[in-house]
Amino acid sequence: MSDAPSDLGIAWPAGKRAAAIISVIFDDGMDAVAKAPDLAMRAKSHSVWLYGARRGVERLCRAFEDAGIRASWFVPGQVAETHGALLRAVVGAGHELESHSWAFERHDTLSREDSRALLERSRQALEDVSDRAPAGFRLPVGAWPDGFDHVLKEVGFLWSASLNGDDVPYLHPSLLVEIPVHLELEDRPYFQFNFTPAFPKGQSRIASYDGVLANWIAEFDAYRKFGGCFVLQLRPEMTGTPGRVGLVEAMIRHIQSCGDVWIATADEIAQWHMANNASAPGSDHPLNVFAAYQREVRGAR
Amino acid sequence: MTLSFPRSPKPSWPGGKQCAVALAFDLDGPTGDAMLDGSLSRNLRYFTEGAYGPWRALPRLLDLLKAQALTATFFVPTWVVLHWPGRCERILKEGHELAYHGHRHEVFRDCSLEEQREIMGRSRDIFSSRLGVKPLGFRTPSGDWSDETADMLTEFGVIYSSSMRGDDRPYFHRRADGSTGLVEIPARWDIDDYTALAYFEDPDFPAGLDRISDYRLVEQNWRQEFRGYYRDGLCWTTIFHPKVTAKPGRLGILEGLFREINEHPDVWVTHGAEIARWWIAENEEAA
Could you tell me if residue B9 is inside a domain?
no
Q: Edge to edge, what strands does the sheet with B171-173 contain?
A: B24-26, B73-76, B97-100, B137-138, B160-161, B182-184, B171-173
- What's residue B127's pLDDT? 98
pLDDT range class, residue B52, cuts 50, 70, 90: very high
Interface test with A, best of B41, B46, B48, B88 (most A CBs within 10 A): B48
pLDDT reported for residue B216: 98
Domain extent at residue B192: 14-282
Contact A211/B60, CB-based, under 8 Å?
Answer: no
| C-alpha to C-alpha distance for B103 and B32, rounded to whole angstroms | 9
**Which band of pLDDT confidence, cut at 50, 70 and 90, is reported for residue B279?**
very high
Residue B174 falls inside a structural domain: yes
Confidence at residue B9, expressed as pLDDT on a 0 to 100 scale: 92
Question: B139 and B164 in contact (C-beta within 8 Å)?
Answer: no
Tell me whether residues B48 and A228 touch, CB distance under 8 A. no
**pLDDT mean over B157-173:** 97
Query: Of B43, B201, B211, which is closest to A205 when you measure between CB atoms?
Result: B211
Q: Where are the alpha helices (DSSP H) in A52-111?
A: 57-67, 77-82, 84-92
Q: What residues of B are in contact with residue A218 (Cβ under 8 Å)?
A: 215, 249-250, 252
* Residue at B100 is within a domain: yes
- Contact criterion met (CB < 8 Å) for B210 and A200: yes
Distances A156 to A105, A151, A152, A176 between C-alpha atoms, Å: 19, 9, 6, 10
Contact B45 A144 (CB under 8 A): yes
Q: Is residue A86 part of a domain?
A: yes
Residue type, B31: T
pLDDT at res. B148: 95
CATH code of the domain containing A254: 3.20.20.370
Bridge partners, B172 (sequence order): B183
In angstroms, the CA A5 to CA A9 distance is: 5
Q: Which A positions 66-95 lie with beta carbon below 8 A of chain B? A: none
Task: With residue A52 as reference, give the H or E element that holds it.
Answer: none
Contact between chains at B214 and A214 (C-beta distance less than 8 A): yes
Q: Are A191 and A238 in contact (CB under 8 A)?
A: yes
Per CB-CB distance under 8 Å, the chain A contacts of B54 are: 284
The rounded distance, in Å, linking the Cα atoms of B165 and A78 is 51
Inspect the interface and report whether the beta carbons of A204 and B199 lie closer than 8 Å.
no
Chain B (192-231) residues lying within 8 Å, Cβ to Cβ, of chain A: 199-202, 204, 206-217
Residue A226 contacts B where some CB pair is shorter than 8 Å:
yes
Does residue B287 have a pLDDT over 70? no
Does the CB of A301 have a partner CB in chain B at under 8 Å? Answer: no
Task: Please tell me the distance in Å from A127's CA to the nearest CA on chain B.
Answer: 27
Nearest Cα neighbor of B29 from B52, B46, B45 is: B52
Residue A209 forms contact with B (CB below 8 Å): no
Q: What is the pLDDT of residue B285?
A: 63
Cβ separation A204–B47 shorter than 8 A: no
From B47, B87, B201, residue closest to A290, measured CB to CB: B47
Average confidence (pLDDT) over B83-95: 98
List CB contacts of B41: < 8 A, sequence separation 6 or more.
A293, A294, A297
A&B contacts, CB < 8 Å: 142
Domain presence at residue A12: no
Among A92, A145, A94, smallest CA distance to A118 is for A145
Closest CA to B126 of B82, B83, B64, B165: B82
Those residues of chain A that have pLDDT short of 70 are 1-7
Cβ-Cβ contacts under 8 Å, B51 against chain A: 165, 286, 289-290
Which of B45, B84, B215 minimises the CB distance to A163? B45
Question: Within 13 Å of residue A79, how many CA atoms lie on the same side as its CB?
Answer: 26
Tally of structural domains, chain A: 1
Picking from A143, A184, A285, the nearest residue to B44 by CB comes out as A143
Asked if residues A21 and A264 have their Cβ atoms less than 8 Å apart, the reply is yes
Looking at the domain assignment, is residue A2 inside a domain? no
* List of residues 6+ apart from A66 with CB closer than 8 A: A249
Smallest Cβ–Cβ distance between A204 and the set B44, B46, B209 belongs to: B209
- Number of structural domains in chain B: 1
Q: What is the mean pLDDT of residues B146-155?
A: 96
Do the domain assignments include residue A248?
yes
> pTM higher than 0.90, yes or no?
yes
Closest CA to A122 of A94, A142, A146, A97: A97
Q: Does residue B5 lie in a domain region?
A: no
Whether residue A197 lies within 8 A of chain B, CB to CB, comes out as no
Adjacency order of strands within the sheet including B267-269: B235-237, B19-22, B267-269
Q: Is B254 a member of any domain?
A: yes
Strand partners, A23: A72, A233
How far A164 CA sits from the closest chain B CA (Å)? 5
Judging contacts by C-beta atoms under 8 Å, the chain A residues touching residue B204 are: 201
Question: Residue B59 maps to which CATH number?
Answer: 3.20.20.370
A184 → closest Cβ in B60, B207, B247: B247
Question: Does the pLDDT value for residue B286 go beyond 90?
Answer: no
What pLDDT score was predicted for residue B142? 86
Do the Cβ atoms of A219 and B249 come within 8 Å?
yes
- Residue-wise over A34-49: b if at least 16 C-beta within 10 A, else e? bbbeebeeeeebbebb
Q: Which of residues 10-69 of A touch B (CB under 8 A)?
A: none
Does the beta-carbon distance from B247 to A182 stay under 8 Å? Answer: yes
Alpha helices in B84-200 (DSSP H): 85-93, 113-126, 149-154, 193-196
Nearest Cα neighbor of A70 from A54, A55, A100, A92 is A92
Give residue B266's pLDDT. Answer: 97
Nearest-angstrom CA–CA distance, A16 and A150: 32
Which chain A positions have a beta carbon within 8 Å of B251's beta carbon? 222
Residues of A in contact with B215 (CB under 8 A): 211, 214-215, 218
Check CB contact of B47 with chain A, cutoff 8 Å.
Answer: yes
Q: What does the pLDDT read at residue A6?
A: 54
Condensed to tens digits (0 to 9), the pLDDT of residues B169-182 reads: 999 999 999 999 99
A11 within domain boundaries: no
Residue B40 CA to residue B95 CA, distance in Å, equals 33
Residue B65, classed as helix, strand or coil, is helix
Kindly state whether A186 is in contact with chain B, defined as any CB-CB distance less than 8 angstroms. no
Structural domain of A225: 18-300
The C-alpha of B170 sits at a distance from chain A's nearest C-alpha, in angstroms, of 35
The answer to whether position B2 is within a domain reads no
Task: Give B-chain residues touching A180 at CB under 8 angstroms.
Answer: 48
- Does residue B1 lie within any of the structural domains? no
Query: Would the CB atoms of B83 and A205 count as touching at under 8 Å?
Result: no
* Alpha-carbon gap, residue A9 to A53, rounded angstroms: 40
Would an 8 Å CB–CB cutoff place B56 in contact with chain A? Answer: yes
